[in-house]
Structure 1
Amino acid sequence: MSIHLRTLFAGAFAVVIILLTALLSLLIGKESSKTAEVTIGRSLAEVAYQMSYSLDHFMWARSEEVEVLSKLKAFQEPVDKKEIGGLLNQLKENLPVFTWVGYMDAKGNVLSATDNILVGSNIKDRPVFKFGIDAPFIGDVHDAKLLAKLLPNPGGEPLQFVDIGVPVMDASGRAVGVLAAHLSWEWSRQVESSILTPLKENMKGVQVFVVSKNDNTIVLGPSSQVGKPMKDAALTEARQGKSSWLVNKSDGGQAYLTGYAHGDGYMDYPGLGWSVIIRQPAEIAFASVHRLQNYIALSGLAVAVLFGIAGWFIAGWIARPLQLIAEKADLLSTGKEAEIPKFNRIKDLSILSVSLRNLVQNLSQTETELSYMSDIARHDALTGLPNRMALDDYLAHAVNKAKQNRSTLSFLYLDLDGFKKVNDTLGHAAGDKLLQEVAFRLLESTRDNEMVTRIGGDEFVVILHTSAAKPMQEAEVVAKRIIDKINQPFLIGGEIVQVGCSVGAAVWSPETQDTSEILRLADDALYISKRSGKNRITFETAV
């Protein structure tokens, strides 16, 4: 059976275009899926880390407030119940997260409490007293028992608390009582909302879990799962102190892209061992990639149909030019550089070649846009500086280079002194402008091959390339230059703004720990600087 040239050519041409489109769709879709998986996975891991950090920071701050309050003379013997009651109610009024605060004597009798709840009761058998009489105690999330019927509960849902108990010592160091507080667990929802709200557009379908180390019980998450044990590969990884991401399936068989982090406390607060799991259904996470693949497939199919019809009418004229086009398309399908030739003498053939050129250009532009999206994910939106994700990538290359050059890396962990006052007095817009100006001055104070990143809030990290002989001296020179720069007045919205800068520093060398440990040491050194008077540099060395 013979086939007319027009039929053969039109069919062959349509098949070539479809196959080419399918190949490009497969290659681009595969690469796009990999890029999206890494980008979104790291983003979920970063959000999980931020939430874990925020939860530990919040608990540390509340425990510090209770401990500071416990040292007031009003709690020493003889006890002034009226004065104590005023202090406790004032604390609750200023910080509503304190649902109940009470003061017990050394036998567990409640002498004074907010709203006089439980006054006269004995709670010596409650953990907040049993453990709080000997040392500061922080208890994990639990249901209300004594307070369930005494506290207002408009929603009707079971009340849950986190306990804080601090011993009250007299002048001789003897425990004379316990200052105890119940924090409503609802504050965790506020932390969750503050972190996820800005990311709402990119976090569709996201589920957040906070899992207690006690029997892996879910203490924050979808209401249908709270109080149940969690079994998940990400939780196993988080329990090992890791912060990363993975793709796994739930018990129901649904695939998730999951970020995880483990809370290891904050400063002197050891933490309760909470793990944060943030997951997004894979079908939602990769929806943009699937749309791209569909778009490529449909575009290729449309082009194939159009060119097949054109080939039917002009087969005799364009057989040879089409052969040339097919050759170039084959080169493109192998990944080599090639350009679809133009044929201006025949109008239909010219349209065909131009359409193919536009298709290749659009596909290349789509790849470029995906790369651009990846680059955006690695930079801080406010200051334009690289973020924590970019810092990790930079350190991997910087460590290899330092090993080759037998040099060191100096980590400077920076924090602005007085930044909160700027936010409180001039507003967050002024604070944002100040952070942008600070970023500019940090770049002015460092060399082009050195890294300046914004970790979050008013915290920055600078990575310096220093010699093996005297890295501390070199790092100190740069740190002092940065402090001097930051100390110079800023003009923000017509107002003169003055802030300081505290610096913590640590030096990495091929013989010391990994970079994450050095970054932690620099962070510890920063808080030493702040406690030592601020606006100074402190070095912390590896043990």
Structure 2
Amino acid sequence: MKKSFSLHTLLSASFAALIIVLTIVLSVAIGHRSNEEVRSEIGNSLKETSYIMAGKLDHYMWSRYGEVSMLSTLSEMRQTEELEGQRQVLNRLKEKFPSFSWIGMTDDEGTVLSSTDGILEGVDISERPVFKEAQDKTFIGDVHEAVLLANLLPNPTGEVMKFVDISTPVFNEENQFIGVLAAHLSWEWAKEIEDSMMKPLQKRNSLEMFVVSGIDNTVLLGPQEELGSVLQLTSVDKARKGENGWVLEKWPGGKEYLTGYVLASGYKDYPGLDWVVLVREPIDDAYAPIKETLQYIYTFGLILAGLLGILGWIVAGKITSPLKNITTAADQLRRGERVTIPAHKGIKEIEVLSYSLKKLISKLTKTETALEKMENVAHHDHLTGLPNRIALYAFIEEAMKNDLPFAVLYMDLDGFKKVNDNLGHEAGDILLKDVSERLSEVTPAGGMVARMGGDEFVMVLPVAANPENDGMIVGDSIIASINKPFIVNVQEVSVGCSIGGAVWEPAIFATSKVNEIIRRADEALYKVKRTGKNRMAF
């Protein structure tokens, strides 16, 4: 059997369920959209960070590249006889730019003539790329470990020293090659640039930056554990093609990162070393704002669902309260109680329902009253007001259902026709009304007297142990009452009453019909009429 719920409960539950469903749907939709937008936003920020880092690297190298080129044009560098003057110029440059770990001037054979702090003076570096590659044009060498200088330069950290080479040919006034001006830049400057880039991003402490070699894709700058490793990544390949963008990819180790990438392709006349700059962030950290947003949405949605559930309960109560009052009144009406449908103002539909039900009940009540009146007319004699034949038959049928004996008296007025002929029908009607009143007065409690038509009446006596004896007693009182004079139109009128009686006993007449006992009482009446009027006989 299907369980029923109150409208109050259904409305409240519907409010809460609707908000929960909307919260879930909106969370999924917003989460999906936020996921894409946040990922794109973070990816673009990584791309921009890598682009700025590459720009700083190229700009720094361009500055040092320009300084070395400019230094090579100074007269001190062109005069190989004034070595002390060269040495002073070189030392001043190193003091001003500490990233220059070593600067030296060679002769045309590759022997160091002068250098910062006198390091490597007199040493032949003709086989080193810094000399061999710089006899015709400026040479820029990629990051490499120190060979000759490893044990000659101070190294407070104890880490492996790495350098970037910048060397340029030097010519005299006659434009003859006289040597090479070579410089080793400490790779520490790149870390300083990285630190300056990462400082504003301290809140995103999971961000990591890489500089990848343009020669063999080894990591030149990055987390300590990654240094020297070779990266074969989609981001590196894309950067090599000159793209600047971001990608979601899996790094060595199996972890996914959002990765921004760009190629450091040089600045102005500095050609660049084709370093690839990568900036990565773990996908879990990158998507943390999305998770926080979703958690906020879920929490807010559940709170909202609870609040709206309470609001729904209150609103549902406002809606269902008048309906409950109406249904209570309707149920009372169903049980036969006399109540009025309560009126309601505020909600149009309930107001219409209340008004319509009130009118319906009023109309039904009037209809019921009219039906009662019609039934009363149908079951009563219109002249005397006594029950008619229909009511009499129904009464006798009910009496038979008790399966107990009772008596029926069939009465006829003696001398009524004479009154009707002498005084008129109006007088006869008055006489019949007066007779009906006297018969009603002598009818025993629980019995009934009915008019059969004309001047004939039938009385049903209540159940009795000796119905015939009781019937004779009642018959005598009827005759005595009717024999008293009547005043009709200020004239005294006297009539008699003949009565025939019959007894119904269930053991004898169980299958007989109502009209059977009426017929038997009628036969007894005619015997009385034939043998002497104004008396009674069974």
Normalising by structure 2, we get a TM-score of 0.57
Q: CA deviation at 1:267?
A: 0.9
State the alpha-carbon separation in 1 of the partners of residues 298 and 267 from structure 2: 51
1:82 aligns with 2:75: no
Residue deviations 1:477-519 (CA, integer Å, cap 9, x gap): xxxxxxxxxxxxxxxxxxxxxxxxxxxxxxxxxxxxxxxxxxx
State the alpha-carbon separation in 2 of the partners of residues 184 and 78 from structure 1: 27
Change (3 A) 1:4 1:309: farther
Q: CA deviation at 1:309?
A: 5.4
State the alpha-carbon separation in 1 of the partners of residues 111 and 66 from structure 2: 24
Change (3 A) 1:113 1:78: closer
Residue deviations 1:41-67 (CA, integer Å, cap 9, x gap): 222211211111111111111011111
1:116 aligns with 2:145: no
Task: Look up the match of 2:295.
Answer: 294
Residue deviations 1:113-155 (CA, integer Å, cap 9, x gap): 1111111211111110111122210000001111111111111
State the alpha-carbon separation in 2 of the partners of residues 319 and 85 from structure 1: 100
Change (3 A) 1:18 1:140: same
Question: For 1:119, what is the secondary structure of its paired residue?
Answer: coil
- Give me the CA root mean square deviation: 2.2
Task: Look up the match of 1:196.
Answer: 198
State the alpha-carbon separation in 1 of the partners of residues 308 and 80 from structure 2: 96
Moved more, 8-17 or 45-54: 8-17
1:18 to 20, 24, 38: 20
Change (3 A) 1:223 1:318: farther
State the alpha-carbon separation in 2 of the partners of residues 197 and 320 from structure 1: 65
Task: Look up the match of 1:226.
Answer: 227
Task: Look up the match of 1:127.
Answer: 129
Matches within 5 A, 1:19-98: 19-98=21-100
Task: Look up the match of 1:275.
Answer: 276
State the alpha-carbon separation in 2 of the partners of residues 310 and 107 from structure 1: 94
Task: Look up the match of 1:158.
Answer: 160
State the alpha-carbon separation in 2 of the partners of residues 231 and 214 from structure 1: 13
CA contact (8 A) 1:102 1:180 kept: yes
Runs of 4+ in 1 over 4 A off after TM superposition: 6-10, 309-316, 318-321
Matches within 5 A, 1:504-519: none
State the alpha-carbon separation in 2 of the partners of residues 188 and 32 from structure 1: 36
State the alpha-carbon separation in 2 of the partners of residues 289 and 319 from structure 1: 42
The residue identity in structure 2 corresponding to 1:257 is L
Task: Look up the match of 1:254.
Answer: 255
Question: For 1:102, what is the secondary structure of its paired residue?
Answer: strand
Task: Look up the match of 1:208.
Answer: 209
CA contact (8 A) 1:204 1:284 kept: no
Q: CA deviation at 1:298?
A: 1.2
Q: CA deviation at 1:96?
A: 0.3
State the alpha-carbon separation in 2 of the partners of residues 38 and 314 from structure 1: 44
2:106 to 104, 108, 121: 104
CA contact (8 A) 1:128 1:137 kept: yes
1:183 aligns with 2:189: no
Q: CA deviation at 1:37?
A: 2.2
State the alpha-carbon separation in 2 of the partners of residues 110 and 78 from structure 1: 11
State the alpha-carbon separation in 1 of the partners of residues 315 and 79 from structure 2: 105
Q: CA deviation at 1:106?
A: 1.1
Change (3 A) 1:13 1:68: same
State the alpha-carbon separation in 2 of the partners of residues 21 and 198 from structure 1: 36
Question: For 1:224, what is the secondary structure of its paired residue?
Answer: helix
Task: Look up the match of 1:418.
Answer: none
Task: Look up the match of 2:286.
Answer: 285
| Unaligned ranges ≥5, structure 1 | 322-344, 347-543
Matches within 5 A, 1:368-379: none
CA contact (8 A) 1:204 1:280 kept: no
Matches within 5 A, 1:103-502: 103-201=105-203, 203-308=204-309, 311=312, 315-318=316-319
Change (3 A) 1:316 1:241: same
State the alpha-carbon separation in 1 of the partners of residues 241 and 127 from structure 2: 34
Q: CA deviation at 1:319?
A: 6.6
The residue identity in structure 1 corresponding to 2:154 is P
Change (3 A) 1:73 1:29: same
Question: For 1:260, what is the secondary structure of its paired residue?
Answer: strand
Question: For 1:276, what is the secondary structure of its paired residue?
Answer: strand
Larger Rg: 2
Normalising by structure 1, we get a TM-score of 0.56
Residue deviations 1:338-362 (CA, integer Å, cap 9, x gap): xxxxxxx89xxxxxxxxxxxxxxxx
Change (3 A) 1:282 1:78: closer
